[in-house]
Structures are given as structure tokens and as C-alpha cells.
Chains A and B, each alone.
Chain A
Amino acid sequence: MANNHLTSESKQLATWYFTFAAIIFGAQLLFGLVAAIQYVMPGFLYGVLDFSIARILHINALVVWMVFAMFGSVYWLLPDETGIETVGIKLGKLLFWIFAAAIVVVVLVYLLVQVGPADATTIWFITEGREYIEAPRWADWGIVVVALGFVANLFLTGIKGKQTGIVTVLMADMIAFAGLYLAGMFFTDNISVDQYWWWWVIHLWVEATWEVFVGSIAAYGLITMIGAHRKVVEMWLWIEVAMLFGSGILGLGHHYFWIGTPEYWWEIGALFSALEPLPLVAMFIHVLYDWGKTQGGEEAKGSDVSVINNKPAFTWFVLNAFGNFLGAGIWGFFHTLPQVNLYTHGTQFTSAHGHLAFFGAYATILVGMMYIAVQGTNGLKVMKHTKASIWAVSMITGGVVGMTVALTIAGYVQVLVSRAQMGATWAGYFDGQSGMWFIQAMDWRLIMGAVTFLGFVFLAKDLLTTGKNPVHER
């Protein structure tokens, strides 16, 4: 990148991670569009790129771009937090290329080979066929190596440099993040055992370690963007960690209602997952409180300038506070109690929650981190909104909220027709899918998906060009 103001190698590496993440984000939306079209026109790409493959690519791209952006975020903030350059930067760069190359190979196999015979070679080289963690086993081991290298960099730097609360939380969180992946790397004939451990990866990642990661990033962002007081921010962070792990770890129980596990998970899952929205309220208040407090402090001194030095990034961070609470908290709580979940489990309700939660809780804050990186790379003192950044944020958010509402309505139809009325059979399923309200909801989901994709085009344009835009203060 020309006009590069980065002196830190760690930050330079972070921009690699962010760039690759943004490309994969685009791929995620593209394959999501294919899958959405297939709901409306089932013949679309039939036999070429079937729904199952479009969906694998849609969801795995989501996970991968988020993991890349998370690694990028950590490499970005490490020099600021520890006061030193990241220790194993050469290792970090090597692992980046290994990780990126492995992903390209896996994607090509998904596109060109797709499925294999029912033997171990398929599991090792084509797909493990387990939702969200379909990556073949050779790639699993690669991911473990890359994750361990990343964790080593984080720990060696954290131990050598200054240990702030943010770095301490990240060190604990990332070791759990890497370790949990191991729970999903074995084969068993017993599908109940399979699902039991599978959720250790999926739930404990997303509803525990990823959320704590977001708390740390939000803390870093508030200190960087509005100059919030570190002691206050870190106190919130510790409270959030206590609440997130306190509710999220045993909230795992809400996945153990119907997979063959004992009934006591009903009570445990209901209680702890009902608590899960609370830390998200705390994160929501945290961001708005600190913003108001810092701005109010300035105003008390008679200054009327904004304390925010990066408007687009801060917009995405505030959206994170709202989106995390709404998508993960409220939409999650909708169907988390076993009495409700008995009917809503495995319907478009889950999909509605998934779309808003992943967007609100993770996509928003990671895009915010990309803007922070653009600001740093171009040495901007104050970064303002551009037309493209406003279009991007409006269309992506509007599109995702639109998809969520459409999928929620589709979920209602499924619950009423397929589940409550028809008893969940093959015929009952298709009666629900053929209902006019369901079909209309899926049309709207596609339209809103297209809006989201257009928003992404604006986002890509803005991230690439905004550094040169004269509106920013240098």
C-alpha cells in the first residue's frame, strides 16, 4: 500500500489478515445469495452447485473471515497494548500464507469434488460433513497448528510486554478458543456423542470465547477511538467476562434438549441461556455509557468537538452494541426455552437468529476494526464518514435486518404448519414450505440479501479508497 504510515510489523501483518478477511466476506455473501436464490428457484444450479455446497461455502466463509479478522485485530492491538513489537512476527507471516493457501485448496475441493464415498478418505481429504466444521481432517490439523502459532505469538508478546487487562483477557480467551477446536476432531458412530462434543466447538466458541473476544475488542476500540478511561473500560471488561462465561458456559445446555441427552439439561439450559442476554445488555450500556461520559467530559470543559476520531469505525462499534443485544440476546432468547424450542428447533427461526446474531455480534465490530486499520495505515488524525461508508453501513444493516424479519416470519409459518399442525413429517415439512407466507418471506429474504451484497460493494470500495479521500483530517 502506498503512503503507508505503519512502522509496526505487527500492524502490517494485521492488514494482510484484514484484506483476506474482506475478500472471504464477499465470498460468504455471494454463496449466501446462491443459497437464497435456490429457496426461491429450486432448479438454480441444480446438480452443479447444489444448496448443500452453497451453504457449506456460505457458512465456512463466514467462520473463516471472522477468524482471520480476529487474528488481524489481535495483531493490530498488540503493539498498542503491550508497548512492544509482536515477538514472532516472521512466524506470524508464514502462518498467514499457510492458512490462506489451505483455505483456497479446501474451497476448490468443495467446489470441484463436493462429496466422496462413505469411507475415511472422504473425511480426511474432502469433507467431514459436520455442519460448520466441514473442513477435511488434514485442514483441521493445519488449523490447530496455525492457531497454536498465533496463540504462541500472543503469549510471548504478552509476557514480554506490558500486561493490560485487555491483553490478559485475550490471552486466556484465545487459549480456550484454540483448545476447544480439538473437541470437534474425531469420528464416532454414535450421533448423540457426536453432537454432544460438536457443540463444545460451536457453542463454546460462539457464545463464550468469541463474545469475550468482542468484549476485549470493544474495550480497545473505546480507548483508541474516544479516549475512554482505561480503568473504567477494563472494569466493564472484567464484569462482562464474568457474566459471559458465567452464563455462556452452562448455556451450552440449550443445545442438549433433543439430541439424546438427559432431561436435566432442560433446566440447566433454560436457566443459563435465559441469563445469556444480560452480559450483552452490559456491553450495550458499556459502549454508550463510555461514549456519553467522554463526550460529556469534553463538553463540561466548554469544547464542542466530537471525541470520536474515527466516525465509520465508531458507527460499526455502536451497531455492535445494538446488534449483539438484539441478534444474539433477544432473537436468541425468543426460542431458547425448551417449551418453545420443542417447536422452533431446526426451523427458520434459528436461521433468523443466526443471521442477526453473527452480523450484530461479530461482523459489525470486525468491520469496525478494519476501519481502524485503514485509519492507521493512512496516518489519519480524524477519519470521517464518506458517501460510500454511509451507503455501506445503511445497506448492509438494512439488508441483514430485513433478512432477519423475513426469516422470522418464515419460521412462524414452519412452526404453525409443519410442527404444531402437521407433526413434523416429510409431508408436513413441505406443506409448511409451500405456504404463501413462507414463499413470500423467502422472496423478501433474497431481496434483502441482494441489498446486503450491494452494501458490501460500497464497503469494499470505501475500505480501498477512503484513505486518499480529502475529507479526513490528517
Chain B
Amino acid sequence: MANKSVWSDNRFWQRSATWVTGFASILLIWLTFDTSAQIAMGNDQDLKNGVTKRVPGPTVINYKITYEMSAKRGHEVPVIGEKEKFFGRDDYSEEEAGALLHLGKLGSQAKNCMDCHTLLGNGAYYAPDLTKAWLDPAWGPDGAMQALTGKNTKEEAMAEFLQHPDQYPTHARMMPNLGITAEEAKGLVAFLKHMSSIDTNGFPRNFGHMQGAINGK
């Protein structure tokens, strides 16, 4: 026994494994408490008082959202600006906006969006990332999708496309018709607008700015 080294002792390694696992687990649980507080959804009061939340409340759909470079943080962050009409209104109450967001999030799961698209970068890679889809120039006033769908606003163009994707082919890889109703489409667009307001630490980088950069010197 005298010559036996601790390095070849199974009990030493068993204890090491237990301590390392325990330590890592406790650290993870502690970080989870901190993160949970930081990613909890904000509310209407925060938005009215200009308090920035990583995940703003559902009434963010009453406001204009942009994605701007933050000199302090060194990457782009969502900026919530002045009031903006969403399906003709900018006075959705906390309950109304919450119900729309609920319908949209549920709809995104019921229609399996994540098995073609990525949301917050997670999902499948068969179709474009939807993290900041609300801010995509394609849906903007000069974008191709408003003209294609014959609608006057971003949200109406998006809702129309979601209900009849097979009528508006943008690529050979067409989105199938998933039986999305008008109400569900409205919820899904609210969900997309809300998601674009989430602070994703600058992901995706340079979103929307480099459009046409190849030929547009």
C-alpha cells in the first residue's frame, strides 16, 4: 500500500467525478436564476417608461422597431421607437397584445415552423432565419413582397403570404400551404414582430444592411 499512487486509485477518480459534476451543476443552477430574471418578459409600463428589457412585453407591437449599432456594446441591438400602426391600430392593450402573441407562438409550434426555418438561429436550414424577419427589407415599403402580395403594409403583406404561401413563390423551394387562418396569420405576424424586438446580442450581424452590396457601390 505504501507505494500506491493516488493517480491510479479509482476512489480518487470517483470522488473527483462527483465533486466536478456537483460543482458544475450548482454553478449552472445559480446562473439559471440570474438568466431567468434577465429574460423574463417585460410589460407595458416598461415600454411606456422607456425601460429596456431583453425580451420586451407583448405591447411592443404598438411601436416601431429598428435594429441599430450600439457603440457601447459593439454590436446591433433592437431599438424601440415611436408608435407605429399594426393592422391599423397602435393602442393594443396588454391583454390584447398578449393574446395575439400567445396565438402566434402557439401557431408557430402547431405549424412546425422550426422544421424548415430557424428562430433565434435554431431550427432547420431549409428556409430563411425568422429572428429579425419583421425587419427584413423585403417586406418594407420598397420591398418585393408588398408589391407581390398587393398589400400596403408590412403586416398585411406578411399575413397574406402566410395564408397563401403557395400563391407567392419566391424561390423554387416553396413554402407549403399550412391552412393558416386570417386570425392565426395575425398572431404569427405579432409573434414575428415581438421576436424582432428581442435582444439577441447582435445576431444576425449586419442584418438587412448589406442588401445589394455587390452591385450597389
Contacting residues, chain B, for A120 (C-beta < 8 A): 106
Contacting residues, chain A, for B41 (C-beta < 8 A): 189-190, 193
- B interface with A by C-beta (< 8 Å): 8, 10, 13-14, 16-17, 20-21, 24-25, 27-28, 31-32, 34-36, 38-41, 54-55, 58, 98, 101-116, 118-129, 131-133, 136-138, 166, 170-174, 176-179, 181, 184, 187, 195, 198-211, 213-214
In this assembly, does A50 line the interface, its C-beta being within 8 Å of a C-beta of chain B? yes
CB-based contact A239/B13 at 8 Å: yes
CB-based contact B31/A268 at 8 Å: yes
**What's the minimum C-beta distance from A225 to chain B, rounded to whole angstroms?**
21
Contacting residues, chain B, for A422 (C-beta < 8 A): 210-211, 213
Q: A246-B24, A258-B201, A342-B202 are in contact. Are A123 and B137 (CB under 8 A)?
A: no
Please report which residues of chain A, range 189-248, place their CB below 8 angstroms from some CB of chain B when the two chains form the complex. Answer: 189-196, 231, 234-235, 238-239, 241-242, 245-246
**What's the minimum C-beta distance from A233 to chain B, rounded to whole angstroms?**
10
Q: Which of A35-43, A70-78, A295-303, A371-379 is the interface stretch?
A: A35-43
What is the bound-complex CA distance between A427 and B31, given in angstroms? 38
Please report which residues of chain A, range 313-360, place their CB below 8 angstroms from some CB of chain B when the two chains form the complex. Answer: 342-343, 345-348, 350-351
**What's the minimum C-beta distance from B83 to chain A, rounded to whole angstroms?**
23
What is the bound-complex CA distance between A414 and B35, given in angstroms? 31
- The secondary-structure label for the interface of chain A is helix
Size of the chain A interface, CB-CB below 8 angstroms: 88
In this assembly, does A412 line the interface, its C-beta being within 8 Å of a C-beta of chain B? no
Contacting residues, chain A, for B210 (C-beta < 8 A): 421-423, 428
Q: CB within 8 A of A241: which of B8, B17, B119, B177? A: B17
In this assembly, does A119 line the interface, its C-beta being within 8 Å of a C-beta of chain B? yes
What is the bound-complex CA distance between A72 and B126, given in angstroms? 34
CB-based contact B38/A262 at 8 Å: yes
The A-B contact count (CB < 8 A) is 261
CB-based contact A129/B113 at 8 Å: yes
**What's the minimum C-beta distance from A92 to chain B, rounded to whole angstroms?**
28
- A interface with B by C-beta (< 8 Å): 35, 38-39, 42-43, 46-47, 50-53, 55-56, 114-120, 122-123, 126-131, 134, 165, 168, 187-196, 231, 234-235, 238-239, 241-242, 245-246, 249-250, 252, 255-266, 268, 342-343, 345-348, 350-351, 414, 419-430, 433
CB-based contact B13/A52 at 8 Å: no
CB-based contact B55/A192 at 8 Å: yes
Contacting residues, chain B, for A260 (C-beta < 8 A): 39, 54-55, 120, 198-200
What is the bound-complex CA distance between A107 and B80, given in angstroms? 43
Q: Which residue of A lies closest to B108 (CB)?
A: A129
Complex A-B: 11 CB contacts under 8 Å: A38-B126, A47-B176, A51-B116, A191-B120, A196-B32, A258-B121, A262-B54, A422-B213, A425-B137, A425-B138, A426-B133
CB-based contact B14/A238 at 8 Å: yes
